[in-house]
Amino acid sequence: MNATLKALRGSAAIAGVATFGCGEAPGFIDMELLARSARAAVADAGLKMSDIDGLCTASVAATMWPMPVIEHLGINPRYIDGTMLGGSSFIAHLLPAMHALHAGQCNAVLVCYGSAQRSGAFSRAEIARARKFLDPQPYETPYEPMLPPSAYALAASRHMHQYGTTRRDLAEVAVAARAWARLNPEAFMRDPLSMDDVLASRMVSDPLSVRDCCLVTDGGGAYVLVRADRARDLPKPPVYVLGNGTAVWNRQISSMPDLTVTAASQSGADAYAMAGLQAKDIDVVQLYDAFTINTLLFLEDLGFCAKGEGGAFVRDGAIAPGGRLPVNTNGGGLSCVHPGMYGIFALIEAVRQLRGACGERQVAGANTAIAHGNGGTLSSQSTAILGTAAAL
């Protein structure tokens, strides 16, 4: 770990967060969900929109997305990052923004996202059709994998073969997520969900059933990042960024070197090194659970258990409320919200936990959190380690 990255530990803090329209937001377009979230996050930070001079954003559909966002919000950023790595983007935006803040290039960075994927006129199926031309995968498409589920199903099949992981282990992840969602008024799916419900649900791409797959919802999310000294003068308790790492090993699942080991093993190691922390030091865990297998893979790759032991680790409600490790306390992408890209919502939940603002689902005394984002088909991974003032 080089000295500059270590010096950035805790140099910036998240001063404002907000979500808007999570679940179903008929009548809204992507930009409106983003703008409402952005405005609320800026207000939460105790700032005005005119204070925002840095912007990070990405869209599933629009490749030049920062421009219409700048236009809509009426901001004039000196720092602009439109890096698009799929769902991990809004966590991967952290470290470059910390560099820009540290260098004095800007003073307040707004990171924001919105998607009306559930209710919008341009459906998920249409996006998938357009992507065949705009983002071709000619060595996979002819075999008609149902993407993304089939890619994660292939990874699950390999994990089951290699480590004896079972559908029940995967179901534990879905059941735990739902148990947390039942404590979260913002979560989209809050009905009780049992192991038997998951195991009996409709198969999508074996071994994954519909209850092993994330939701398709609407929603917007935003956060504001400032230098740590400034954050201390703003109204909300600062949540410091202690570490961030991003890694990409492949785009296509067929190019992934080992389907049981993700690039989270690299992004996590980088983030831990920058933070000077290890898995055992983390109080609350937010992992991008696009599919139930993700949670197992990331628990392993981020060091919460050994490789192959994810299934055993989550058994008997171990990551549910009251379990040994609080994971995805908002209900995750499986039961809370998943508007195309979930990463920003994992980060926002981590911030809310560290603020002690989570009501019934609050993890008592949480001072450190990990927020891990995934993008594509296990393609991009970005890990953030956050902490309260006590963790500095």
Partner 1 sequence: MNTTTTMGIQARHQAELNAGHFLIQHCGGCDRHVYFPREVCPHCGSGALHLVPPRGTGTVYATTTVRRKAEAGGDYNVVLIDLDEGVRLMSRVEGVAPADVIIGQRVQARVAVKDGVGLVVFDAVAGEGA
Write down the least CB distance from residue 107 to partner 1, Å.
41
* Contact residues for 148 (Cβ-Cβ < 8 A; gap 6+): 290, 291, 376, 377
Applying the rule CB under 8 A, the residues between 130 and 189 that interact with partner 1 are: 138-140, 142-146, 150, 153-155, 157-158, 161
CB atoms closer than 10 angstroms to residue 324: 13
Write down the least CB distance from residue 369 to partner 1, Å.
32
What is the CA 297 to chain-centroid distance, rounded? Answer: 15
Write down the least CB distance from residue 153 to partner 1, Å.
4
- What is the rounded CA–CA span in Å between residue 339 and residue 358? 21
Write down the least CB distance from residue 164 to partner 1, Å.
13
Nearer to partner 1, 230 or 251 (CB): 251
Which residue, among 283, 366, 287, has the nearest Cα to 332 in the 3D structure? 287
| 248 touches partner 1 by CB under 8 A | no
Q: Which residue has the tokens 């490790």?
A: 325
Is 316 in contact with 325 (CB distance < 8 Å)? no
- CA dihedral for 200, 205, 208, 212, sign (positive or negative): negative
Instruction: Tell me the site size for partner 1, rule CB under 8 A.
Output: 27
DSSP for 302-344, please give it: TTSS-TT-HHHHHGGGTTSTTSSS-B-TT-HHHHT--SS--HH
Nearer to partner 1, 165 or 388 (CB): 165
Nearer to partner 1, 138 or 192 (CB): 138
Applying the rule CB under 8 A, the residues between 192 and 231 that interact with partner 1 are: 202-208
Which DSSP state fits 357?
Answer: -
Q: Which of 11, 107, 201, 252 is the binder for partner 1 (CB under 8 A)?
A: 252
Nearer to partner 1, 11 or 157 (CB): 157
Which residue, among 339, 378, 327, 383, has the nearest Cα to 156 in the 3D structure? 378
Q: Which of 33, 224, 253, 348 is the binder for partner 1 (CB under 8 A)?
A: 253
Is 214 in contact with 353 (CB distance < 8 Å)? no
Write down the least CB distance from residue 204 to partner 1, Å.
6
Q: Which of 105, 107, 166, 254 is the binder for partner 1 (CB under 8 A)?
A: 254
Write down the least CB distance from residue 64 to partner 1, Å.
26
Task: Summarize as ranges the residues that interact with partner 1 (CB under 8 A).
Answer: 138-140, 142-146, 150, 153-155, 157-158, 161, 202-208, 252-255, 259
